[in-house]
């Protein structure tokens, strides 16, 4: 029975619905019924395009990780301009003020999704691993511009920034931390690495 929805459109529609459910209701809320109801489609559409719901969620997370890679390119290209702290503050706020924090909760709470993601992307917690790489890449680019010390331990600074920001945002019930709080974290973590 034709649905009138092409595969790419169905994926995008279902992913957008999953994101809305995840943002509104939390990491345990996405179910095939919740997502398809939010998308205004039948459950059959989801199962026609994905082997099962865990595969749908895996593909959803991979799609959102792809967006982080786009952000990483933009951030890396900004190296040498503006303020290092301002770039980090904006990036951490954008990351953890968006869907990323909810995706971390989703991945942690769903064993099958976490296992599939590890098989396809390697170890670690997706999103946290990818955002750490993004920050590390930016700090390395800033080092090339002479704005971060040549001996700065970027492999420690990047996960420290991600961990501190994650804790700052995760400890909130519906409210984001003030920009000044995120800036303070970024400033404190990289203070000794700045030239």
In three-state form (DSSP H/G/I as H, E/B as E, the rest C), the secondary structure along 105-129 is: HHHHHCHHHHHHHHHHHCCCCCCHH
Question: Both 119 and 186 in a single domain?
Answer: yes
> Residue 161 falls within a domain, yes or no?
yes
User: 102-161, pLDDT tens digit by residue?
Assistant: 888 899 899 999 999 988 888 778 788 889 999 999 999 999 999 999 999 999 999 999
Question: Both 33 and 119 in a single domain?
Answer: no
User: 157-185, pLDDT tens digit by residue?
Assistant: 999 999 999 888 886 566 788 899 999 99
Question: Both 106 and 172 in a single domain?
Answer: yes
pLDDT of residue 127: 81
pLDDT of residue 173: 64
> Residue 118 falls within a domain, yes or no?
yes
- pLDDT over 50 (residue 12): yes
Question: Both 40 and 98 in a single domain?
Answer: no
Supply the CATH number for residue 42's domain. 1.10.10.60
Question: Both 171 and 88 in a single domain?
Answer: yes
Question: Both 80 and 112 in a single domain?
Answer: yes
End-to-end Cα spacing for the chain: 64
Question: Both 3 and 88 in a single domain?
Answer: no
Q: Which domain holds residue 116?
A: 63-193
Question: Both 97 and 129 in a single domain?
Answer: yes
State the alpha helices, DSSP H only, in the chain.
Answer: 7-25, 32-39, 43-49, 53-77, 84-96, 100-109, 111-121, 128-144, 154-170, 179-190
Question: Both 34 and 126 in a single domain?
Answer: no
Q: Which of 182, 160, 184 is nearest to 171 (CA)?
A: 182
Here the tokens at position 111 are 């064993």
Of 3-17, 38-52, 68-82, 166-180, the poorest mean pLDDT is in: 3-17
Cβ pair 61, 137 in contact under 8 A: no
User: 123-133, pLDDT tens digit by residue?
Assistant: 778 788 889 99
Higher pLDDT, 66 or 30: 30
Question: Both 11 and 74 in a single domain?
Answer: no
Question: Both 44 and 104 in a single domain?
Answer: no
* β partners of residue 194: 148
pLDDT of residue 70: 87
Question: Both 36 and 78 in a single domain?
Answer: no
**How far apart (Å, rounded) are the C-alpha atoms in residues 186 and 89?**
6
The residue-averaged pLDDT of 5-22 equals 84
Q: How many domains does the chain have?
A: 2
């Amino acid at each position: 029975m034709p649905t009138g929805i092409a595969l790419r459109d169905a994926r995008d529609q279902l992913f957008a619905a999953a994101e809305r459910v995840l943002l509104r209701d939390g990491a345990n809320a996405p179910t095939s019924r919740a997502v398809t109801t939010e998308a205004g489609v039948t459950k059959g559409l989801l199962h026609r395009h994905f082997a099962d719901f865990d595969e749908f969620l895996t593909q959803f997370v991979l799609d959102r990780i792809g967006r982080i890679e786009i952000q990483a390119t933009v951030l890396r290209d900004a190296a040498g301009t503006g303020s290092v702290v301002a770039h980090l503050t904006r990036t951490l706020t954008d990351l953890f003020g968006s869907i990323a924090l909810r995706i971390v909760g989703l991945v942690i709470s769903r064993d099958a999704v976490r296992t599939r993601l590890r098989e396809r992307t390697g170890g670690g917690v997706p999103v946290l691993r990818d955002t750490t790489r993004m920050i590390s890449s930016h700090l390395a680019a800033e080092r090339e511009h002479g704005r971060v010390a040549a001996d700065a331990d970027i492999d420690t600074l990047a996960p420290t920034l991600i961990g501190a920001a994650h804790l700052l945002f995760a400890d909130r019930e519906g409210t984001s931390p003030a920009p000044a709080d995120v800036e303070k974290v970024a400033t404190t973590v990289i203070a000794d690495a700045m030239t």
